[in-house]
């Protein structure tokens, strides 16, 4: 499937963020970091999803992040800043002007909190808008749990929105199968539904979002488990393509995250087997550590030494320095970032895995293609070229969509800007 590489820089930086990276794929243009399907001047740009819908294709978004997060948002929303997720939630319900039906027919992922009014216990909105109710009133089939997901069939009514977590879905290493479907399961269901109900074809964007987030945390075990789940998902899509030979699958990344190195000085050595016994992500462990620190601070070091390291991380010979290193970072640890990276680095050092950053890098990323006319997606190209080639493949043009979008609001009321790094 490997057919080339993709250059990732944005209009504002040699190191892109997910918003600008996804906008390049969705609109075929470079924009600034933080831009969600708007150009460098902040004007909306028509996306491949909107143009595909306009031409009669069915459309879908599947992700393990919030459905309002940067990558899925850039295919169907238009806001000046990626953190305007309250406005993105509203825009994801938009109707296509030509078909008079929702622009996105199927959405599966996390992020229910941005659809619930702020009076709701699980809400993260800054207002009282009930977007979930608005979705139901506009005809969406809605689901929020595993039981409802399992009841889906190829004939389930569209449009459909399934959000299975208030924020991001769980890392694969932490996922409880009785609570949340996996990326592979969501993709299989999306293919079943869209494959049956799309006589004119469909466009489906699938994102293994938590691979990136584990890279931000420098958490090699969580990173690996979500990569393996993405492989499972790719295999499911390949099988669909084999049985539907008029279908194309293209796989790539917005960017690289973490600056991962397999092998660190001074030895020529890499020990991936040390990741096998790890059963929890640094994210879940840090959440527990911070709760324990508040309720029973004297028990923190004992928990790290006697429970966390041997039982959850497979480290049975931890040094006092490693225990202390983790315990000390719990002070002033906003968002648990220092804790997560510290745990990740304790594991990484032992496995001889290196990380150059807790952010993104400017390196090229792989391009993979399989199926119908896959030979058109070969070579080294800009991310914008890939977006435009996908549009050419579908024979769609977003220019008319861009004209229709000229007057839509791209700024969220009472929005507070924050720098774009390490997005949770």
Catalytic residue ranges: 18
Pick from 326, 306, 303: which is nearest to 315 by CA? 306
Question: What does the DSSP assignment read for 187-253?
Answer: HHHHHHHHHHH-TT-EEEEEE-HHHHHHHHTT-HHHHHHHHHHHHHHHHHHHHHHHHSTT-EEEE--
Question: What does the DSSP assignment read for 278-297?
Answer: --S-HHHHHHHHHHHHHH-G
Beta carbons of 396 and 389 less than 8 angstroms apart: no
Beta carbons of 8 and 254 less than 8 angstroms apart: yes
DSSP classification of residue 152? -
Tokens coding 122 = 């699980």
Helices within 267-336 (DSSP H only): 282-295, 300-303, 320-328
Q: What number of other Cβ atoms are within 10 A of residue 142's Cβ? A: 17
Whole-number Å distance between alpha carbons of 96 and 75: 14
Pick from 68, 26, 9: which is nearest to 412 by CA? 68
Pick from 297, 296, 318: which is nearest to 309 by CA? 318
Beta carbons of 264 and 353 less than 8 angstroms apart: yes
Beta carbons of 142 and 162 less than 8 angstroms apart: yes
Q: Which residues contact 61 (CB under 8 A, 6 or more apart)?
A: 49, 67, 72, 75, 76, 104, 106, 107, 108, 109, 204, 205, 207
């Amino acid at each position: 499937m490997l057919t080339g590489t993709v250059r990732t820089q944005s209009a504002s930086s040699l190191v892109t963020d997910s918003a600008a990276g996804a906008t390049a794929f969705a609109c075929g243009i470079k924009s600034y970091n933080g831009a969600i399907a708007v150009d460098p001047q902040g004007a909306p740009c028509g996306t491949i999803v909107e143009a595909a819908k306009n031409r009669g294709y069915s459309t879908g978004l599947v992700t393990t992040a919030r459905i309002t997060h940067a990558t899925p948002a850039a295919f169907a929303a238009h806001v000046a800043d990626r953190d305007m997720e309250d406005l993105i939630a509203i825009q994801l319900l938009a109707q296509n002007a030509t078909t008079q039906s929702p622009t996105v027919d199927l959405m599966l992922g996390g992020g229910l909190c941005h659809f619930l009014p702020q009076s709701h216990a699980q809400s993260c909105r800054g207002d009282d808008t009930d977007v979930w109710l608005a979705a139901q009133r506009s005809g969406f089939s809605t689901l929020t749990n595993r039981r409802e997901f399992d009841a889906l069939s190829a004939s389930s009514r569209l449009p459909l929105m399934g959000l299975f977590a208030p924020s991001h879905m769980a890392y694969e290493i932490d996922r409880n199968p009785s609570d949340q479907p996996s990326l592979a399961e969501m993709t299989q269901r999306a293919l079943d539904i869209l494959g049956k109900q799309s006589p004119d074809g469909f466009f489906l964007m699938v994102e293994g979002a938590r691979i990136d987030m584990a890279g931000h945390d420098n958490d090699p075990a969580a990173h690996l488990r979500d990569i393996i789940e993405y492989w499972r998902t790719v295999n499911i899509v390949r099988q669909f393509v084999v049985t539907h030979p008029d279908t194309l699958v293209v796989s790539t990344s917005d960017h690289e995250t973490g600056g991962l190195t397999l092998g660190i000085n001074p030895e020529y050595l890499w020990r991936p087997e040390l990741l096998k016994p790890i059963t929890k992500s640094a994210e879940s462990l840090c959440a527990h550590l911070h709760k324990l620190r508040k309720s029973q601070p004297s028990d923190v070091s004992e928990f790290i030494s006697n429970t966390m390291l041997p039982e959850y991380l497979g480290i049975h010979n931890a040094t006092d320095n490693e225990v202390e290193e983790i315990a000390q970072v719990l002070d002033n640890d906003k968002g648990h970032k220092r804790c997560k990276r510290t745990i990740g680095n304790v594991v990484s050092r032992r496995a001889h895995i290196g990380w150059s950053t807790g952010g993104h890098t400017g390196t090229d990323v792989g391009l993979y293609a399989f199926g119908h006319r896959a030979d058109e997606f070969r070579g080294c190209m800009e991310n914008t070229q890939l977006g435009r080639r996908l549009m050419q493949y579908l024979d769609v043009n977003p220019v008319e969509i861009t004209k229709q979008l000229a007057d839509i609001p791209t700024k969220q009321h009472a929005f507070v800007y924050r720098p774009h790094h390490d997005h949770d």
